Structure 1
Amino acid sequence: MSTYSEERRADRVADAEQRRIDQAAAAERRAERERAADERAARLRDQKRAERDAARKARGTRLAELGASLTAGNVYRKGTLVLVGASALGSLPAQVLHFVGISPMLLPLPLAIEGAAWVMAAGVAYADERGLPGWVRWFLRLLVVAAAGFAASINYTYGVHLAGLSASDAHAAGVGLAAVTLLGPLLFEIRQWVTNLSGRSGDAEDKAARLHDRKRRRQHRAVSRLADRLVSAAPHGGLSFEDAFAHAWEIETGTSTPGMSPKLHRRAARSLAALTEAQHPRHESRWFGRRSSRALPQGRSVDAPTPSESADTSTNRSMADLRKSTRPTLPVSLPVPVVIDLPKPLKPSAVRTAAAASPRPRSVTGRVPDIARSRRPARTADQLLDEARSATADWPDRDLTAEGIRKAVHTSPAKARVLRDTLRAERTAAPDEAAA
């Protein structure tokens, strides 16, 4: 009995567990279905939202394109074509009625006349596009005027002779038909003219480039002509005008720098020399000599150069040497000019004797020509150094100055400064070698 009860209890527990498992599985399946339905609804919402956004963007794009198409240029071009079509529709029926009233066999004539005017007008546009000679365009324009004028005369005659109208109304109808016949080709020709002008004008950069090209050709005619010759001599497309102009400039002026010429190079060299002279002025004792001369009317100044020294230091030097400024390597302290006031005249210094017939040497007041200069053998740097060593062998260090060396060996101030530095270096190195 107990065994049966236990089996029944176990069966009930097993059934309850199975029902619980089945309910859990059913709940899971139901949740899966609901989740799938939610995902499907979310996808549908996203798809509808994307479609609405795409439609909104498409409308915005169409409106933007419409706004972009409503520019002044597009309105003018498309509006002109609409007016041309309206003029053709207004003039062609009158011609057809006129010729058909004469004979039905003349029906192709208005089509040929009106078509000839429009075909020739299109030929003008094609000639402009292909860059054909000007006489071709004017010949086509003459044909347009002839065809449109003949059609206008026919329409005027037809409008004047319309039945049932007063004289003023008939005249107005004839003038209107003739005007609308001529208006179409005239508007088309003006449209083509404006299009060509706008295409040639371009943007601001193109305008600036054309202005620069015209200015360059006007200001440098010879170089531009030579550049054109070089371009025409080269194969087609083998040489650009810019390269040819640069080469022509070098041929004409001798320099590869655009805009420069020999005259401008000379001006640049003079300006550079003047700037160097202004920034580093040369300190010489000629002003001190002049002031001493004015203070000593009966004798010469203490530091005044002799005629031979002046001739050697100024007249025998080129203008480039006069402008050249050499900065000393060691600082130089120049004496302050002092006016000497002597109570009694100085003893006249010995002067060179000259023949009675020889004129008194005159100081140089300007640049002496090369043919009038006294030639003296040029000395090398070593010879100048030897002479300076001999002349300054017994000089103390304080007297070893560039001005003293210049007077002793009769050389230029620049070379005297170099000799001074060399001699000072030698005297400085001599004690060091003896100590070693």
Structure 2
Amino acid sequence: MSVYAEDRRADRAADAEQRRIDQAAADARRVEREKAADERAARLNQQRQDERAQAREGRARARAERRAARGEALTAGNVYRKGTLALVTASALGSLPAQVLHFAGISPMLLPLPLAIEGAAWVMAAGVAYADERHLPGWVRWFLRLLVVAAAGFAASINYTYGTHLPGLSEPDRQAAGIGLAAVTLLGPLLFEIRKWVTTLSARTGTPEDRERRRHERKRRRQHRSIALLADRFVSAAPFGQLDFEEAFAHAWEIETGTDTPGMTPKLHQRAARSTAALAHAQSPPADQVQRRTGRLFRRRPIDPTLTIESSDTPTKRSTADLEESTPAPALPAPVVIDLVKPTKPAPVAAVAAESTRPRRATGRVPAAARSSRPARTADQLLIEARSATADWSDRELTAEGIRKAVHTSPAKARILRDTLRAERAAAREARKQAEQSAGTAEAVAA
């Protein structure tokens, strides 16, 4: 009995364990199904939210586009252009029926006349706009305007006559009707002409940058009239489109003023030199130096900087190998000794003049023995030296000042060398271009 009971207990325990396992598996499957259902519901909910958000963004974008379209359509320019066309159409519709009734009352065969008269006015008005676009001579536009006035004036007289003879109206009403029909007949062409005039002016005005550029051009031509005229001569002398006005103006400025810096003139260079000298003198130690010598005070008078600094206003030139002559330098004034303390008894005061470390330049012509042994170079020699010195220079670096410093020559010769080298480079580029074109043509023929 004990074995049987143990077997029964073991079986019941095994059944209970199996039921527990089955129940746990069922619970796990239920949890998985619920989790999957929750995830599916969350995905659907998120998808619905995304769709609603996209719909809201689409509606907001459509509203923004409609607002932008309304803003573009309701700008002052569009309202003026479209409103003018609407008024022109209304004036044509108001003036044409009166003319049709007037000529139809005379004879049915005169029905094409109103269309011809109105059509002539509008076609001539369109001709004025076409003449403005093609930049035709002014007499053409004024002749077309005269035809517009003639056609519109004739139509206005007809409408005025028809309005003043309308039956069933009092005399003031007839007068008002005639004036209104005549005015509306003239209003259409007049508004069309004003619209075209305003459009042309706005196109010529352009952007604020264009207005500033035109204002700058007018100011430059007014303040530098001679240079601008010389630049215009350069542009007109060159083939069409090959010389820019800015380049011609820079070249004319260099010819007129001798410097390639825009805005600078010889007088401004002189002022700059004087200002630099004055600044250097102001930043130097004070000229009043009080010294005590033998119980007395001495004060030296400051030396005038204008006497020690060579001014570009004077014709003084330095001795160079090209000029082979020199001119005397102005003599420096001797320092003046001033006795600030009254002596008790007269006694001579020995004042020693300050020694100048500046070398004294030769006066008069330099003797042949003191001149430079370097021979004067010919134009061909200068050109050869300039070619070798500027072989690796770019076109921007090829300036008269750079050549002058490289070959040590005068500014006038440096400008001649610069123009010659630029012409040689331009000819070389043109030759290379023609050679490449010839090679390409030969290859095309061979192919």
Structure 2 residue 177 is the aligned partner of structure 1 residue 233? no
Cα distance, 1:59 vs. partner? 1.7
Name 1:213's counterpart in structure 2.
Answer: 217
Alignment of 1:98-109 (within 5 A): 98-109=102-113
Give 1:251's aligned amino acid.
I
Number of residues paired by the alignment?
317
Structure 2 residue 127 is the aligned partner of structure 1 residue 123? yes
Alignment TM-score, normalising by the size of structure 2: 0.58
Structure 2 residue 171 is the aligned partner of structure 1 residue 167? yes
Partners of 1:100 and 1:106 within 8 A in 2: yes
- Write the distance in 2 (CA, Å) between the matches of 1:117 and 1:106: 18
- Write the distance in 1 (CA, Å) between the matches of 2:133 and 2:203: 11
Partners of 1:148 and 1:182 within 8 A in 2: yes
Structure 2 residue 79 is the aligned partner of structure 1 residue 135? no
Cα distance, 1:73 vs. partner? 3.2
Name 2:359's counterpart in structure 1.
Answer: 415
Identical-pair percentage: 60
Cα distance, 1:19 vs. partner? 6.5
Cα distance, 1:47 vs. partner? 0.9
Cα distance, 1:188 vs. partner? 1.6
Cα distance 1:413–1:141, how it changes in 2: closer, same or farther (>3 A)?
same
- Write the distance in 1 (CA, Å) between the matches of 2:19 and 2:285: 123
Cα distance, 1:190 vs. partner? 1.4
- Write the distance in 2 (CA, Å) between the matches of 1:213 and 1:129: 25
| RMSD, matched Cα | 4.2
Partners of 1:87 and 1:184 within 8 A in 2: yes
Structure 2 residue 52 is the aligned partner of structure 1 residue 44? no
By relative contact order (CA 8 Å, sep 6+), the higher-ranking structure is: 1
Alignment of 1:390-409 (within 5 A): 403=354
Name 1:434's counterpart in structure 2.
Answer: none
- Write the distance in 2 (CA, Å) between the matches of 1:7 and 1:282: 124
Name 1:85's counterpart in structure 2.
Answer: 89
Q: 22, 32, 44: which is aligned to 2:36?
A: 32
Give 1:247's aligned amino acid.
H
Give 2:156's aligned amino acid.
A
Query: Where does structure 2 lack aligned partners over 5 or more consecutive residues?
Result: 289-315, 318-326, 361-447
Q: 104, 111, 115: which is aligned to 1:111?
A: 115
- Write the distance in 2 (CA, Å) between the matches of 1:16 and 1:342: 140
- Write the distance in 1 (CA, Å) between the matches of 2:332 and 2:106: 103
Cα distance 1:273–1:161, how it changes in 2: closer, same or farther (>3 A)?
same
What SS class does the counterpart of residue 260 from structure 2 fall into? coil
Cα distance 1:283–1:171, how it changes in 2: closer, same or farther (>3 A)?
closer
Cα distance, 1:262 vs. partner? 3.1
Name 2:228's counterpart in structure 1.
Answer: 224
What SS class does the counterpart of residue 242 from structure 2 fall into? coil
1:294-334 CA distance string (max 9 Å, x none): xxxxxxxxxxxxxxxxxxxxxxx999944999xxxxxxx99
- Write the distance in 2 (CA, Å) between the matches of 1:264 and 1:28: 93
Cα distance 1:16–1:112, how it changes in 2: closer, same or farther (>3 A)?
farther
Structure 2 residue 144 is the aligned partner of structure 1 residue 144? no
- Write the distance in 1 (CA, Å) between the matches of 2:182 and 2:260: 65
- Write the distance in 2 (CA, Å) between the matches of 1:32 and 1:273: 92
Cα distance, 1:264 vs. partner? 3.7
Cα distance 1:250–1:17, how it changes in 2: closer, same or farther (>3 A)?
same
Query: Where does structure 1 lack aligned partners over 5 or more consecutive residues?
Result: 285-316, 326-332, 347-398, 406-411, 417-436
- Write the distance in 2 (CA, Å) between the matches of 1:263 and 1:26: 101
Alignment of 1:153-192 (within 5 A): 153-192=157-196
Name 2:265's counterpart in structure 1.
Answer: 261
Cα distance 1:276–1:11, how it changes in 2: closer, same or farther (>3 A)?
closer
Cα distance, 1:112 vs. partner? 3.0
Cα distance 1:150–1:280, how it changes in 2: closer, same or farther (>3 A)?
same
Cα distance, 1:9 vs. partner? 8.3
Cα distance, 1:55 vs. partner? 0.9
Cα distance 1:18–1:110, how it changes in 2: closer, same or farther (>3 A)?
farther
Give 2:202's aligned amino acid.
S
- Write the distance in 2 (CA, Å) between the matches of 1:127 and 1:200: 15
Name 1:73's counterpart in structure 2.
Answer: 77
Alignment TM-score, normalising by the size of structure 1: 0.60
Give 1:122's aligned amino acid.
A
Name 2:438's counterpart in structure 1.
Answer: none
What SS class does the counterpart of residue 414 from structure 1 fall into? coil
Give 2:359's aligned amino acid.
K
Cα distance, 1:215 vs. partner? 2.2
Give 1:160's aligned amino acid.
T
- Write the distance in 1 (CA, Å) between the matches of 2:55 and 2:282: 80
- Write the distance in 2 (CA, Å) between the matches of 1:259 and 1:8: 115
Give 2:216's aligned amino acid.
H
- Write the distance in 1 (CA, Å) between the matches of 2:263 and 2:149: 51
